[in-house]
Structure 1
């Protein structure tokens, strides 16, 4: 009776006549800025609605991701790509090898919690069906995005394609960064020697960055918990862009937030009781190993005195030539007991290999689905401990009780501090730091409570529960709360105890808001002051160093540049003296300071001589580009012609944003990096109250009305009011509804 009542209730919400299968009806309600709210009766329908809505906005992006996962970039775009010689070919060799090895199929064959739950399998299949339905109804020849309109590579997708995308996202802090080195790895003496020259190191997710705060009842003026989400990721990388969505199955799931392209769930968001965000963990999520090669055989290596042959798999790659003709190239992939072999550093004596802690991780979607259904922090913690699928991020969360919670529940190799001390081999100019692969004593151990052998289990993970706050800006877990430093966890979870400038600023901002010394009114956070704090665009390096530099240049109006030339810095000195030390779009001085600070860090000479040379060099840079030293920040930093605030975190910017202009024009070239999906949510007794901002908009299609529409809001420090309840959605003046039947 309860199930029948729920179905009737949903039938009343969904418009139109009843279908033969009432569970097949899905409603997509779009509110302002194109945010889709998907309402369905089951997980099949929820996935179908999500896949359809996503395809409406980003059909080409997912099609492109699938081309990569199928190892077909060379077939459609040629072997080189946009990033250099042979990049597509190396990528295709790797991903074709993954397909032929049946890596993802093997993981899908596992039952939960090691494999996906039945609900998720249905949702992913529904997502593929929804995407394909949009493609079929619209027709490839009529797609709205010119990048794939009429293109033969815009094709139907399968659930396996989506699971492959998910598997790849889970390894973004490790193997995904090393794909060129894996696909291009060949033994020394091979005629076609490798062209990849970068030195890989243990990849860290913290290279991506993020700010995250969970504010408890003791830090807010009204006693309601709040969460600030501010992940920093590349704006132009389709696999790492966020898409905002609201997913509802009445009585089962009601969660709002954002997920990465191609993932079927909310990864950062909230329901009515719990809100959470993630920041990139500073822990190591994989290990580089140095192999001692057998004498006379660079494809064999020695462990504990015994010789082992590398595994090898030869794969065919279809390549499109400049004349459009297709040919087949064969590549051989090499593996060791520690993982795939890399191209860089492979000599007759040594090779490097990488073991990824997320190599077998499809559990992540189990984790995020369970988090989305949690009604309190205990259930959220249980969700993470049970599935152990968080791949590479910290979690910061709060619930309606006013408590906050932090943990690093990511996949971390079980390496003791003694092992790290004993086994680490320092690299050189052409070799990475690596663990000693010649002895099994340097292999990963395991925990009794770890689902997957080789990893640390929940009992070793850093965690903290507080009533005031937990915060992180990729600074390791130690100073999650300055009043309660975390200690006692394995060293592989924290690569250093020093705070960077961005992390230091974040903790200062919380402290100053709590005591009211930040100029935003009475002490304690409110929803409004939380948003204002986020968009304060403070620059800590300038707050602590600008006055000294001004004093220096006033005393020495002519300074010597690095090349020895005397440089008049009086105009630059006056600009910096008037600047308010903020990185706003209209700030005159922020761009000059950024250039100065880059030179200062390159010189590694923070004394007065180094400061003087850095300022003189900055002045010369502006002159060489034909730009006045008081050029507004937003003139140089743009996306789709829209001025952008912020600066890079190394300068102490909390609102991280980097965009590289073309020489002399101020037009971005390769895109931008930094603040992407912002969410400021307050968990009130009457339900969540959230403001959000997707800085680049819902669509990557430049022809879409939702390409850069929110970028203009970001430029003006404005937010979007989230619609969460049915009444709020229905009241949106921009509401557009589409119902999928059958």
Structure 2
């Protein structure tokens, strides 16, 4: 059954919290004179170090500093969260969602529904941990006040960023905007990715097909190295999150300090006032995207003759109903009716007279992640970090990798996962309405298929801490968005329900090269000196730009080239490939700025496996197939005698010839960001710190700008004397094209350089470029 969008269907959040009459709010934390107060110290590259005496002041300073650099991005996102994009930008324009943009009208209907569902007020009315803690509430209130103070001081007409200077849609933000952003971030791998399927994906909210949907979220690399893997016996960590380079999902680098209470350095997603990836004096952590499912679909058996009721245990239940109004650019109102079920929102797509589908999202009512990160930022060791995770149980879609000064390393999937055992999945599974939804479909006509319960879970329907996969070692744990089973190949994690992710399955090239990089460093076989990691060799290893698919296939490519000088293209042309073969033979397999052959390989690799006719399945090009007994070395090789492989190379050469593009085209010539040349290669090629561009190689030999890839890179060693860290924020601190910090760190990233982090008070004061600002409000 293909998805069939319909306009009058979708959403009001299903909550596991009880309805309340009013909303309890907390008074913001201020200085003794009734005002917020914070100090912002900016070191090289504009990096802010914010300190205050209390959480309200700390939030105030952070919000002020962030607004100085990135006010326009958050101002636009506030319009999105309020469901007002159609009013300011037009209903048919695309939204500013950097992970899955949709038409503004679709976006507005969705976010209006979220707001009118009351999910955030109900959560704010709950005590911690279900609702936010008093400390987090004060942080959010202060953050809002700081942002608004900067806006009031500067004035919309005088904003330094031309992107939003003088625009009518730039207004003060509210605490509700920030809470809605936190909720939306937590739902990034679930409902937020399904807006068009929920509302209807066409230009007017319901006309035309919805785009295919998969469980998608940005990727990452993460390593935690223990005392058996480091030369000094300390704990070390590499953070390399791969998120969008534009929009609200960018990272902002910051240090947040309340003396004697909190001292954490790292990076936050825009509009969130806590550090999500970072370190304290005693512990460091990072995250990668988990393979576990975040939602299930429920197949609803509709009551005959009543399309707004469905059967559960033989009894009819009416759907919930929302009437949504969206103001359009001409001032007219667009009205929509949305529906929900006991399981969650009802999909606009895949509905018939007999059945409908609802989505149950494990993060539908989750604000706990922000408190969990705030508590992790107070941790001094792994024990305290783990206690923070067990207390709040709010991580939305990510693995955790961490280490401390003891040289112990920790891996876990401490995220929220629907409590569905393999037995229940087998008993309750129903066919999917469309494979592109990539979700487990359960029978909604019986309460036996409701998610289960764990006694140690903070909320019902999820696995509790005792059921979560964990690994504690003294050598290393690593993940590059592969499933959890090979966090360390010496101790595979197996035996968990399939909803956590598959085991024994083929690793993609990026996780394979990640584990190989660690193995070579531990053996001293990578040309970087004696075995074991130092902070310097960790930096060098992570920026080596190895192209793993080329490494795996290099020998077969050479044999193929020696045997065949001429190959037949898809159109029947006979193509001389000798020059291309010479270029590939001379390339060292590293996607550096001057890697002559890196782009030729990317284009050739991208054509491998393409079907010759529309509708045909992809063809495997591996000579040695995957063997579960050898997951780190298979599949391997290239089918060098396969005409389909010859055709891919011939087609690639013809493409270069047609555009008069040199076969020696380098990454530095082909890929850029803000006109700065960038090294690196793609996920599919097996590149560790991968890049993704906004489209294919053009006839001018250039890709559109890089839009995804390594973002906030952090290499840190946790020593008994304190942390030593190197960082680089690949797209720099400010989205303002006129800011001096719009591309200064991008230049470092282009050159393979890092920033020496200033964490201690003495290190910060020693910076000759130090700028200190005290803000009150």
TM-score (norm 1): 0.93
Partners in 2 of 1:144 and 1:348 — Cα distance?
55
Q: Give the alignment partner of residue 38 of structure 1, picking from 39, 50, 63.
A: 50
Match of 2:135 in 1: 119
In the alignment, the residues of structure 2 paired with residue 420 and residue 20 of structure 1 have an alpha-carbon distance, to the nearest angstrom, of 57
Compute the displacement of 1:661 (Å): 5.3
1:467-546 equivalences under 5 Å are 467-498=474-505, 499-546=507-554
CA distance 1:465–1:158, change in 2 (3 Å)? same
Contact 1:637 1:666 in 2 (8 A): no
1:190-205 equivalent positions in 2, closer than 5 A: 193-201=206-214, 203-205=215-217
Over 3 Å counting, the alpha-carbon distance change for 1:426 and 1:591 in structure 2 is farther
Give the counterpart of 2:596 among 588, 594, 617. Answer: 588
Find the residue that maps to 2:332 and give its secondary structure: strand
Tell me what 2:167 maps to. Answer: 151
Matched-pair contact (CA < 8 Å) for 1:48–1:129: yes
Deviations 1:86-120 (A, max 9, x none): 81111111111111221111111111011111011
1:676 to 678, 703, 711: 711
Q: Distance in 1 between matches of 2:383 and 2:220?
A: 24
Alignment equivalent of 2:690, drawn from 656, 665, 684: 656
Partner residue, 2:681: 647
Number of residue-to-residue matches in the alignment? 712
Q: Deviation per CA, 1:320-355: give whole Å up to 9, x if none.
A: 0xxxx2111111112122211223322333323211
Q: Distance in 2 between matches of 1:192 and 1:90?
A: 5
- Report the TM-score, using the length of structure 2 for normalisation: 0.89
Structure 1 residues 431 and 292, CA gap change in structure 2 (3 angstroms)? farther
What do residues 405-443 of structure 1 show as CA deviations (whole Å, max 9, x unaligned)? 011000100000112233333436677453333333322
Is 1:633 aligned to residue 641 of structure 2? no
Q: Quote how far apart the aligned CAs of 1:383 are.
A: 0.5
Match of 2:271 among 239, 262, 267: 262
CA shift for structure 1 position 294: 3.2
The residue number in structure 2 matching 1:319 is: 328
**Does 1:221 find its partner at 2:251?**
no
Distance 1:602-1:134 versus aligned 2 partners, 3 A rule: same
1:407 to 381, 403, 412: 412
Contact 1:180-1:196 within 8 A present in 2 as well: no
**1:16 alignment counterpart:** none
After TM superposition, give the deviation of residue 663 of structure 1 in Å: 2.4
Partner of 2:734: 699
Distance 1:425 1:204, change over 3 A: farther
Q: CA deviation at 1:645?
A: 1.6
Give me the whole-angstrom Cα distance separating, in 1, the residues matched to 2:69 and 2:492.
44
After superposing the two structures, state which structure 1 stretch, 306-315 or 219-228, moved more: 306-315
Secondary structure, in 3 states, of the residue corresponding to 1:510?
A: helix
Match of 2:68 in 1: 56
Question: What is the Cα deviation at residue 705 of structure 1?
Answer: 1.2
Moved more, 122-131 or 370-379: 370-379
CA contact (8 A) 2:731 2:743 kept: yes
Distance 1:160 1:358, change over 3 A: same
Paired position in structure 2 for 1:287: 296
- Counterpart for residue 629 of structure 2: none
Moved more, 149-158 or 704-713: 704-713
Q: Provide closer, same or farther for how the CA distance between residues 568 and 435 of structure 1 changes in structure 2, counting only shifts above 3 A.
A: farther
Q: The residue matched to 1:339 in structure 2 has which SS? A: coil
Deviation (angstroms), 1:644: 1.5
Distance 1:297 1:271, change over 3 A: same
Q: CA deviation at 1:389?
A: 1.0
Consecutive unaligned residues of structure 2, counting only runs of 5 or more, are 1-30, 612-618, 622-638
The answer (yes or no) to whether the contact 2:350–2:433 under 8 Å persists in 1 is: no
Superposed CA deviations along residues 693-735 of structure 1, whole A, max 9, x for unmatched, are 1100111111111112111111110001111011111111221
d(CA) in 1 for partners of 2:654 and 2:339?
49
How many angstroms does 1:204 deviate by?
4.4
Pair 1:330 & 2:346 matched: no
Deviation at 1:494, TM superposition (A): 1.5
Q: Which residue of the other structure, out of 100, 107, 114, is the alignment partner of 2:116?
A: 100
The whole-number CA distance in structure 1 between the counterparts of 2:504 and 2:83 is 41
CA distance in 2, matches of 1:167, 1:339: 16
Give the whole-Å Cα distance in 2 for the aligned partners of 1:431 and 1:46.
Answer: 44
What is the DSSP-based 3-state SS (H/G/I as helix, E as strand, rest coil) of the residue aligned with 1:365?
A: helix
Contact preservation (8 Å) 1:43, 1:119 = yes
- Cα distance in 1, alignment partners of residues 537 and 564 from structure 2: 41
2:630 is aligned to none
Shift of residue 585, structure 1, vs aligned partner:
1.8
Aligned to 1:536, the other structure's residue is in SS state coil
**Aligned residue number for residue 438 of structure 1:** 445
Q: Which whole-Å CA distance do the structure 2 matches of 1:32 and 1:622 have between them?
A: 42
Give the unaligned 5+ runs of structure 1.
Answer: 1-18
1:192 deviates by 7.9
What's the CA shift for 1:623?
A: 2.6
What's the secondary structure of 2:227's corresponding residue?
A: coil
Conserved in 2, the CA contact under 8 Å of 1:185 and 1:333? Answer: no
Q: Distance in 2 between matches of 1:303 and 1:571?
A: 67
Give CA deviations for 1:612-669 in whole Å, capped at 9, x if unaligned. 1111122122233331221112222111111122222222111111113562235554
Aligned pair in 2 of structure 1 residues 193, 487: CA closer, same or farther (>3 Å)?
Answer: closer
Contact 1:637–1:658 (CA under 8 A) maintained in structure 2: no
Q: Which deviates further from its counterpart, 501-510 or 260-269? A: 501-510
Equivalent residue, structure 2, for 1:462: 469
User: Once the 2 structures are TM-superposed, how far is the Cα of residue 85 of structure 1 from its aligned partner?
Assistant: 11
Cα distance, 1:375 vs. partner? 1.1
Secondary structure of 1:680 counterpart = strand
> 1:193 offset after TM fit, Å?
4.4
